[in-house]
Amino acid sequence: MSKTLGVFGVSNEIVESYIERKQVDGFFQTALELNKQIIVYGSSKQGKTALIKKHIPPDSMISIQCSPTTEVKDIYSSILRQNGITILTDSSETETSSEAITATVNSKIKIPVVADIGGDVSGMTKGEKTSAQESRTVEYNLSLAQDVAEALKSINFQKYIVLDNFHYLNEDVQKRFAFDLRIFQELDIRFIILGIWRERNRLDQFNGDLIDRVVDVAVEPWDSNDFKKVIDMGSSLLNVDFMDIQDHLIESSFDSIGVLQELCKESCMSSGIMETSSEIIKITDENLETAIKRKLEDYSGRHLRSFDTFAESSRKTRDGIVPLFIPYYFLRVLLDSDFTKIMDGLKRKDIHQEIVKIHHRPSEDIRPSDMSNFLYSITRYQINKNINPPLFDFDRSINTIKIIDSTLYFFLRNCNTDEVLESLALPSDEIKPQTDNDST
């Protein structure tokens, strides 16, 4: 007997309709056998976390959740703590900048050591007796990857270290860690990094020395055959039949396994299926339409709030001039674009041209450098505005903006884009955007 919530849907646990894909699961399993660091990347809700949980037992990994405020030393502190290594004192502070580390942290750590001695042991530097082990105290530098690796080696550490939400880290932190990753690789400390982006070799751009030392595992694309296997797997567990609506269901998911899982779940619940049925139940178009409406309601609130937050900008420059408000105009271009183009990704050149057509300032005021500043920093811009997960990412290798929140495709296809455009508040009362008709 299976429960619908355990078979379909987006969950922290692996759902029973999980399928293995040779080009993803097989490749990931091969990567685990190599002495290389692993990067798992793709849009949100496309199966990154599920892939890790499927193939690595919980006792074979430790996990660190990254945030916008996480620093490299926070990552290292968490790794040590999770392995029973206690950080005792800091004798100096670490100051970091985008350029370099200007000071070091010399800390004492207490490393657990298996011991078979009786009696009390006093004095920190000589060891502290516990019920099953003693510990030795050593000095090390928390800012140095080699010191951290040596501490882990001293306890025979052999687990994978999973860094989740790596994209949240400040770019300077990502760059620094990319250099440390090379050191860990040489010392056989294995990391698995999970990030929301769609650009291959992201970390190689920060440190070219990682080339051939890192394996990039893309969880996308999902094709229709993959989706059919997921539907078949879940159908057999719940004794339901999606055959009449299968094609419509897959088309409505827009290549997102997360959306497909949620639509399957909601369709079953709409038909009254909460667990394995005693007889085969057909899932109808009506059930699917109900599911689509429910998910549109679920996704609309977040995306509309995110759009409002994204469009907000400072109302004045330092010189008192009305700013360019590029984020606001970018959203207008997005919402006016053909859905097929959105699926393929919006080219930088096209975005620039369309913004110029509708902008409140003369075309010469919207310089290529203004577009570069906006596009190159678009991920950090969203994280700074607490748009999590981020909606967009810029792939510099092909000069294209891509949607990286897989639910946004579903929202854009099913919402009334004209109403969304109308709801976007003007970032300033002093501007009056043009329409395409005004510019001709």
- Count up the domains in the chain and report the number: 3
Q: What's residue 425's pLDDT? A: 75
Tell me, yes or no, whether 434 lies in a domain. no
CB-based contacts of 103-107 (< 8 A; 24+ apart in sequence)? 104/141, 104/143, 104/144, 105/73, 105/141, 105/142, 105/143, 106/139, 106/140, 106/141, 107/139, 107/140, 107/141, 107/142
pLDDT tens digits for 275-291? 999 999 999 999 999 99
Q: Which residue among 218, 243, 267 closes a domain?
A: 218
Phi/psi at 179 (5° precision): -75, -40
Q: Provide the token pair at 198.
A: 């769609």
Phi/psi at 185 (5° precision): -65, -40
Please state, rounded to an integer, the average pLDDT across all residues of the chain: 86
Tell me, yes or no, whether 365 lies in a domain. yes
Q: What's residue 409's pLDDT? A: 95
Residues 202 and 256 in one domain: no
Question: What is the DSSP track for 249-313?
Answer: HHHTTTT-HHHHHHHHHHHHHHTT-SB--SS-EEPPHHHHHHHHHHHHHHHHHHHHHHHHHHH--
pLDDT tens digits for 119-147? 443 344 444 544 444 566 667 787 889 99
Q: Taking 90 as the threshold, does the pLDDT of residue 214 lie above it?
A: yes
pLDDT tens digits for 34-78? 989 999 999 999 999 999 999 999 999 999 999 999 999 999 999
Q: What's residue 108's pLDDT? A: 63
Taking the C-alpha atoms of residue 368 and residue 334, their distance in angstroms, rounded to an integer, is 19
Range of the domain at 293: 224-299
Upper half-sphere CA count for residue 29 (Cβ side, 13 Å): 10
Q: Taking 80 as the threshold, does the pLDDT of residue 163 lie above it?
A: yes
The mean per-residue pLDDT over the stretch 385-403 comes to 92
Share of the chain above pLDDT 90, in %: 69
The enclosing domain of 116 has a CATH number of: 3.40.50
Residues 365 and 379 in one domain: yes
Q: Taking 60 as the threshold, does the pLDDT of residue 304 lie above it?
A: yes
* CB-based contact 210:203 (threshold 8 Å): yes
Q: Which amino acid, 296?
A: L
**110 vs 246: which has the higher pLDDT:** 246
Residues 57 and 196 in one domain: yes
Residues 242 and 120 in one domain: no
Residues 144 and 265 in one domain: no
Tell me, yes or no, whether 2 lies in a domain. no
pLDDT tens digits for 76-88? 999 999 988 877 7
pLDDT tens digits for 312-323? 876 555 566 668
Q: Provide the token pair at 35.
A: 């002495």
pTM score of the predicted model? 0.84
Q: What's residue 317's pLDDT? A: 56
Tell me, yes or no, whether 1 lies in a domain. no
The mean per-residue pLDDT over the stretch 204-229 comes to 94
Residues 154 and 239 in one domain: no
